[in-house]
Structure 1
Amino acid sequence: NNDHQKSMPELSFTTIEGHQHQLTEYKGKPILVIFWATDCPGCIQEMPELIKLYHVFSKSGLTMIGVAMAYDSINHIKAMQSKQQMPYLITWDKDARIATAFDNVRVTPTHFLINPDGDIVMRKIGALNFNRLHEKLVNMGLAPS
Structure 2
Amino acid sequence: MTSSRAWIKPALAAAVLAGIGLTAYFSLNSANPAPPVTFVGINGEQITPASLQGKVVMVNFWATSCATCVKEMPQMVDTYNKYKAKGLEFVAVAMQEDRPDYVLNFAETRQLPFKVALDVKGDAAKAYGDVKMTPTTFVIDKQGRIIKRYVGEPEFPALHQLLEKALQG
Aligned mates of 1:128, 1:111 — CA distance in 2:
8
The answer on 1:7 being equivalent to 2:33 is yes
- Name the residue aligned to 1:29: 55
Aligned-pair distance for 1:17?
Answer: 1.1
Tell me whether 88-97 or 2-11 shows the greater mean CA deviation: 2-11
Matched, 1:106 2:106: no
Cα drift, residue 126 of structure 1: 0.4
Calculate the TM-score normalised by the size of structure 1.
Answer: 0.92
State the structure with bigger RCO (CA 8 A, min sep 6), 1 or 2. 1
- Name 2:83's counterpart in structure 1: 57
* Structure whose CA Rg is larger: 2
Which 10-residue stretch deviates more, 120-129 or 23-32?
Answer: 23-32
1:132-143 alignment, distance < 5 Å: 132-142=158-168
Equivalent residue pairs, number? 141
Paired with 2:50 and 2:59, the residues of 1 have a C-alpha distance of 13
Tell me how far 1:124 sits from its aligned partner.
0.9
Q: What is the CA deviation profile of residues 65-92 of structure 1, one whole-angstrom value per residue up to 9, with x for unaligned ones?
A: 0000001101100111112111110011
Between the two proteins, what is the percent identity of the paired residues?
30
In 1, the alpha carbon distance for the partners of 2:50 and 2:65 equals 29
TM-score by length of 2: 0.79
Task: Letter of the 2:36 partner, please give it.
Answer: E
Q: Which runs of 5+ in 1 are unaligned?
A: none
Q: Which amino acid aligns with 2:161?
A: E
Secondary structure of the equivalent of 2:91?
A: strand
Structure 2, unaligned runs of 5 or more: 1-23
Instruction: Tell me whether 2-11 or 90-99 shows the greater mean CA deviation.
Output: 2-11
> In angstroms, what is the RMSD of aligned CA positions?
1.5
C-alpha separation between the residues in 1 aligned to 2:100 and 2:167? 35
Structure (1 or 2) with the greater helix fraction:
2
* Cα distance in 2 between the residues matched to 1:58 and 1:19: 20
CA contact (8 A) 2:88 2:167 kept: no
Does residue 1:120 correspond to 2:142, yes or no?
A: no
> Displacement, 1:24?
3.4
Instruction: State which of 80, 96, 101 in structure 1 corresponds to 2:106.
Output: 80
SS in 1 for 2:167: coil
